[in-house]
Structures are given as C-alpha cells and as structure tokens.
Copies of this chain bind each other. A is one copy, B any other.
Amino acid sequence: MSADGLPMVVPAPGLPARVRIHEVGARDGLQNEKTAVPTAVKAEFIRRLAGAGLTTIEATSFVHPKWVPQLADAEELFPQVSDLPGVALPVLVPNRRGLDRALALGAGRVAVFASATESFARANLNRTLDESLAVFEPVVRQAKDQGVHVRGYVSMCFGDPWEGAVPAYQVARVCTALRDMGCDELSLGDTIGVATAGQVRELLALLNDRGVPTEMIGVHFHDTYGQALANTLAALQHGVTTVDASAGGLGGCPYAKSATGNLATEDLVWMLHGLGIATGVDLGRLTATSVWMAEQLGRPSPSRTVRALSHKDQ
C-alpha cells in the first residue's frame, strides 16, 4: 500500500499494459435483486460508474419482463444514459424481439447469452444447445447488418451444476459457432465459480488452436469458491485484455445459498493497478459508488476492497 491508499505498483513481465473492464453490475448484478431497483437509481448508478472511469457498462437486458421483472424498465432506462460521452452501453438481447427493441432505441452494442452445456441451455433457455444457437444466428446476423457490435456470452464454461466437469472441446464448439455467426467478442463465463487456473489456461489455448484469437476473448469469473482473481491472473498471463466484473461484487448475495458471487470490480482494479496495468478507473470514486449502491440496496458490499477502503475512511 502506498500512502494514498492505493496499491504499490510493481509490474510483472508478460502481462498486458491495459485491460478493458466490462462492467456488468447494472445488468448481471441488478437482475438478481429480489425486488426491482427504481429506474432513477439504476440511471444514477450507471452515471456514477461512468464517472469513475468505466467505459463499457452493460446497461440492461431486453428480455421479456415476465422472465426478468427486475429489468422490465429497459425502454425507460436506456435513453436516460445513452448519451454518456465515451461510454459503450451494451445490452443483453435474448432473441429477435429483444434485438428489435434495443435497435429501436439506438443501441450500438448487444450481447447474446449462450450456454456451453445442454443442461443449462435447457434450464435457462428451454431449448437444446443447437436450438439455442439456431435462435441466436439471425439475431447476430441482423445486428451485424445494422453495424452493431455483438458479444456472445458462453456460460458454464468450466463446470455445470448438473453435468459436473465441462470438457474444453465442448466449450470450444460453442465459441467457434458464435464466432462463425459473426460475434465480435466472446465472454467465457465460469457461472458457478468452480474453475481453477489450469482450466483457464487449457481453454484459452484450445480456443487459439481453433482460430479464436485472444483479442476477442473476455473472461467472466465468479468468486463462489474464491478463485476469480487467481483465474483472472492466469487469463492475463495468456494475454487476455477484457475482464468482466461487477461493481461492489453485485450479483447474488454472498450470504444466500444462491450466491453467484461476481468478481468485484474493485478487487480486480486493486490487482490490475498493483501490476501497473492501466484501466482508466478511479478506484476511490468506484468504491464510493459501490458504497452508495449498497446503501440503496440496504446491505453491505461483499467486495473485500470496498469493505477495506470504506472502513479506512471512517
């Protein structure tokens, strides 16, 4: 720690000079809240995240309100934040209808949410894996036709609650299918947080072998077993420069059984800045944002860095 409460900077060789953080708290975090957060609070959250220096902020999801009532205000919310200068605001679109809604509001970036396993495709999307890919294909094509950037989420890349271990070749098949459809970017999700560093390395190497360049790969780790940051380090060592994280660790209460435990953006930024890796994020402002959001939600942030830095100020 240096005197200003920031990590001491000691770079390590072989790591990227800059990482782009794909902030998911406003979508992945808030969609897991029991009760919907008011639209004005969501908009303020996104504005504060942008003010803290985040430049890619996943804003909401154009899913049917029946499935995710927490994000039923997507049409209302998006125009309130879409003019933030220098900030990309990707939105999740489950199907053509969702894409149409997003395009009607001028969204420049969308994301589809695929699964690496049959079990999760059936549980989450009520389709076989191949059926779900078939649904995404025209969505991705239409988005690309409109000049829209497309991210493909691939969930359950390292383990699945029904199937257990997930072989890397199975994940690679879904990733190459999404790439072939035209996805600009992939996000490899460890949805249940079980991965360790060897698995991360193995999957990234296999994807390279299959012609998926590291530049189009993001990683999305969960802290369910405390592994998210160690896995991130392994991904950085492989050359990955896009990392998903959630401000304050929003997304699944760590005290609940259903803990999903998104990697907290603050814990990630502490590591990246300590390694001399630029992010553009002001850690103090980001922590203040998460403390503010925790007050809105009525419970403390599970991020260890948020707790440490906010206690320091008291």
* A194-B1, A196-B271 as given contacts; A201 in contact with B307, CB under 8 Å: no
Q: Does B226 lie within 8 Å of A305, measured CB to CB?
A: yes
Copies of this chain, complex-wide, total 2
How near does chain B come to A13, taking the closest CB pair, in angstroms?
A: 9
Question: Does any Cβ of B come within 8 Å of A155's Cβ?
Answer: no
Q: Does A104 contact B (CB under 8 A)?
A: no
A270 CB–B CB distance under 8 Å: yes
Bound: A198/B303 CA distance, A? 22
- In angstroms, how far is the closest chain B Cβ from the Cβ of A279? 13
Q: Are A227 and B275 in contact (CB under 8 A)?
A: no
Could you tell me the distance in whole angstroms from the C-beta of A251 to the nearest C-beta in chain B? 14
* Closest residue of B by beta carbon distance from A12: B198
| A8 nearest in chain B by CB position | B165
What separation, in Å, do the CA atoms of A300 and B255 have in the docked complex? 9
Indicate if A193 sits at the interface (CB-CB under 8 A): yes
User: Counting chain B CB atoms within 10 Å of each CB, which of A164, A165, A223, A304 scores highest?
Assistant: A304
Q: How far is the CA of A257 from the CA of B296 in the complex (A)?
A: 21
Residue A202 CB within 8 A of the other chain? yes
> Are B305 and A225 closer than 8 Å at their CB atoms?
yes
CB of A123 within 8 Å of the partner chain: no
Identify the stretch in A18-26, A46-54, A78-86, A228-236 within 8 Å (CB) of chain B at 4 or more residues.
A228-236
Digitize A1-24: 1 where CB-to-B-CB distance is under 8 Å, 0 elsewhere. Answer: 111000111111000000000000
Whether, in the assembled complex, A195 has its beta carbon less than 8 Å from a beta carbon of chain B, the answer is yes
CB of A192 within 8 Å of the partner chain: yes
Q: State the CA gap A241–B299 with chains docked (Å).
A: 39
A96-122 toward B: CB 8 Å interface, digit per residue (1/0)? 000000000000000000000000000
Partner among B194, B224, B234, B303 whose Cβ is within 8 Å of the Cβ of A233: B234
- Distance of A6 from chain B, by nearest CB (Å): 9
Beta-carbon contacts under 8 Å, A252-274 to B = 254-255, 257, 259, 261, 264, 267, 270-271, 273-274
Residues of B within 8 Å of A304, CB to CB, are 223-226, 254, 261
Which residue, A12, A161, A197, A270, has most C-beta atoms of chain B within 10 A? A197
Q: List 14 A–B pairs whose Cβ atoms lie within 8 Å, in order of A's numbering.
A: A1-B165, A3-B164, A7-B195, A8-B159, A8-B196, A10-B196, A10-B199, A11-B198, A12-B197, A198-B275, A224-B304, A225-B308, A226-B264, A227-B229
